[in-house]
Chains A and B, each alone.
Chain A
Amino acid sequence: KAGVTQTPRYLIKTRGQQVTLSCSPISGHRSVSWYQQTPGQGLQFLFEYFSETQRNKGNFPGRFSGRQFSNSRSEMNVSTLELGDSALYLCASRMTQRENEQFFGPGTRLTVL
C-alpha cells in the first residue's frame, strides 16, 4: 500500500505570492491533517479534514486555508506569503478521527524569499 504522498517536495516563492500544496493520503484513509514545522517550533497543527469537511483548526491566520476532495486528497493554500511562512509543511492521514496513529508524508519544503 502506497504511503502518504505530497507534491511538490520543494518550492521557492517570493513574498506576496500564493502557493498550493497537495497531499494524497493512504488509500482508505479519510482524515487528512496539515502541520507546519519550523526549526525550534516543533509541529504546529494547521487543520484537519474528514469527509471533505474541516473538523479542527489550529491558531493560524486566515491566509492559510485548505480543502479536501471526495477522493480524500487534500490541498492547502497560503495566500500573501510572508518570510515567516518558510517551513516544512507536513501532511498526515489516518482512517478516521478515532484512529490515534497518523501516517506522515515526506513534506513540502517551502522557502519564501
Chain B
Amino acid sequence: KNQVEQSPQSLIILEGKNCTLQCNYTVSPFSNLRWYKQDTGRGPVSLTIMTFSENTKSNGRYTATLDADTKQSSLHITASQLSDSASYICVVSAMVGYGNKLVFGAGTILRVKS
C-alpha cells in the first residue's frame, strides 16, 4: 500500500535553533518527493523537489535529503525563524498509468518560539 509517514507530529523549538523533520514512504514506483510548507489557513507551497538520483537539495535555510534505498527523506531547517512556524508536508509521486499519483503525509507542525 502506498503510504507516507512523517515524524514527529509536532515540534517546538527556540528561534535560532536547527531542526530536522522526517518522512518515510512506501510509495512505488517512485517518481519524486516534494516538501511543502503550509502556513496556518493558507494553501501549501512547494519548498523542494527531489528525484531518485538526488541526495540533497537546498532552498535557503531549508535542506532536503533523500535516501532512495531506505525510502527516507528529511527536511533540515537551519537557524530557525518565527516565520518558519508552519506545517511541513511530505508528498511522494508515483508513476501510474494516467500520470503522477500524489501520496500525502499527514504533516509535521513546527512552532518556533522566541
In the bound complex, residues from chain A placing their C-beta under 8 Å from that of B34 are 100-101
Residues of A in contact, count (CB < 8 Å): 24
From A11-19, A60-68, A70-78, A103-111, the one touching the partner chain is A103-111
Within 8 A of A (CB), among B20-47: 31-32, 34, 41-46
Chain B at the A interface: mostly helix, strand, loop or mixed? strand
Report how far A96 CA is from B93 CA in the complex, Å.
14
> Given the complex, which residues of B lie within 8 Å of A86, measured CB to CB?
none
Residues of B near A4 (CB, < 8 A) are 43
Contact A100 B93 (CB under 8 A): yes
Contact partner of B89 among A40, A43, A98, A109, CB < 8 A?
A: A43
Cβ of A54 within 8 Å of any chain B Cβ, yes or no, is no
